[in-house]
Chain A
Amino acid sequence: MKHLDRYIKRILKTVLLSLIFGLILSISFMQAERKTVSAEEGSKVNIYFVHSLSCPHCLAERPFLRSLAEGNPNLSLYEYEVSDPQSKYILYNMMSLGVNITAVPVTVIHDQIVSGYLNEETTGKEIKAIVTRKLQNPGSDKVGELINAGGDSRYLSDLEIESIKENIGELSDNNADTVPGVPPENEDSTIDIPIFGRIDPKLISLPLFTAILGFLDGFNPCAMWALLFLISLLLGMKDRRKMWILGVAFIFSSGFVYFLFMAAWLKIFLVAGYVLWIRYLIGIAATGLGGYNIRKYFLTHGKGCDTEDSKKRKAFLERLKRIAQKEKFVLALGGIVLLAAAVNTIELVCSAGLPAIYTKVLAMNQLQTWQYYSYLLLYIFFFMLDDLAVFIIAMVTLRAVGIESKYGKYSTLIGGIVMLVIGILLLLKPEWLMFA
């Protein structure tokens, strides 16, 4: 069984490395065609449409823009599909110019940006109004300037971007409130739930999703052994204040390391999220990991705690013992923080699945930067909930408590099913995961 597990892990590792290598190669060798855009003052208006073939709002906007452009000879439509390697330069340069394309669709009409699209009656009407204004008074064509500077076939330097910015002034987000899937104000999407009253599912679905995944991930007992050992040491101390401070420092450091790890995943997905096959890669990985966890649940008959890796654990436990017993409190505190960071970094491999999948889904939702990080903090809170409960109960009752490993096994099963479902949705119905 262990050989099979190792074999599956090795296959997953090889597939992952090959795909990363393939991405680097494809980005290095692709060359984009250079175009020149002309915007004759007072007559021509260029519309730049950044979209994804997997995004339902983009698919709704595309025919609208096409028919708009076809009906007016003074309108030119430029389409950039986010997963198309030929679009990479212009998208990068647009981002450098200040166009936020972390979520699509984004429509740039000279100096106006329209983020998101709902339908022809709402966002469509707005786009038409901008186009009418621009036909009368085109103003500066920001993306056109980028293309004329060669920004669709190479990465422009900071100096070039700055010079374009100076020439054309700032871009303005025309409708920051219009985001994919968010209905206009007069459309009531709330539902009535007994006891809770009227609730908008769009507002609660992402927090609920975050809480469930964080909680499930928390039951993964990867680093719980270190906390339990620390508790056993703390319970032997006489100074209760010291006990609380050292324990809380350990838990917070563990959460902080997890936060950094998840923030790194999020950054990757926000920057490279428009590359279509990264979504496929995460989808395949999630489906594979989900299947692996479900299989693990049914095939693992072990009861209790696994004593393998006892050498690694013993070395850590000895170090923790020495640190916790240091006479100088500051040294003990610093040591605990470092050791918590170390053990959680080592154990990250053990629990890499759910946080990576969660951050991918989070990156697919159009949010403000502070909202992304708030969701990560919410996830970490639910992730640490079991650790906090075990620690607080032990400190209050002065008796060590634990969580039966069978719950960890159930969380493996439920987590596996959740990963499998998310994986399938990432591959086939990604729009269902765009809560916000």
Chain B
Amino acid sequence: MKVIKIGAVWCSDCVIMRPRWQEIEKENPWLKTEYLEYDDNKAEADKYLGEAKDIPLFVFLDKDGMVLEKLRGTVSKEILLEKINTYKNK
């Protein structure tokens, strides 16, 4: 399982989510994550964003790169951990 994080430095909600993810990554060193800065990776980010263009967006992918779930906006650490635990073996 891998998590793609899409955000931007100018986005307030992305700024809020940054330390939450830092904590999660520190507590779960096995977790694979990748950060996409929206303005630098617009084409790739738009693929995941779909019709709704709001960020931050967190995309949970399985080992084959298939989308398991997308979470958008500010999300609590508890919910993120719950999703990580649900998908960790996928």
Contact = CB atoms under 8 A, between A and B. Distances in A.
Interface of A: 221, 224-226, 228-229, 232, 302-308, 310, 313-314, 317, 399-406
B90 interface: no
Given A228-B10, A310-B39, A405-B73, A304 B54 contact: yes
B36 to A, nearest CB: 12
Contacts of A229: 9-10
A403 to B, nearest CB: 5
Given A303-B13, A310-B38, A313-B10, 10 more contacts: A226-B10, A302-B52, A302-B54, A303-B72, A303-B73, A304-B11, A305-B12, A305-B13, A305-B54, A405-B73
Interface of B: 8-16, 18-19, 38-39, 42, 49, 52-57, 72-74
A229 B14 CA distance: 12
A341 B73 CA distance: 30
A403 B57 CA distance: 17
B12 A224 contact: yes
Contact of B39 (A304, A308, A317, A403): A317
A225 B39 contact: no
A344 to B, nearest CB: 15
Nearest to B16: A402
Contacts of B18: 400
B14 A305 contact: yes
- Among B9, B18, B49, B52, the one with the most A-chain Cβ atoms within 10 Å of its Cβ is B9
Contact of B74 (A225, A310, A313, A404): A404
Nearest to B45: A307
Given A317-B39, A405-B73, A307 B54 contact: yes
Given A310-B39, A400-B18, A401-B15, A304 B9 contact: no
Nearest to B40: A314
A225 to B, nearest CB: 4
Contact of B13 (A226, A314, A402): A402
Contact of B12 (A307, A310, A403): A403
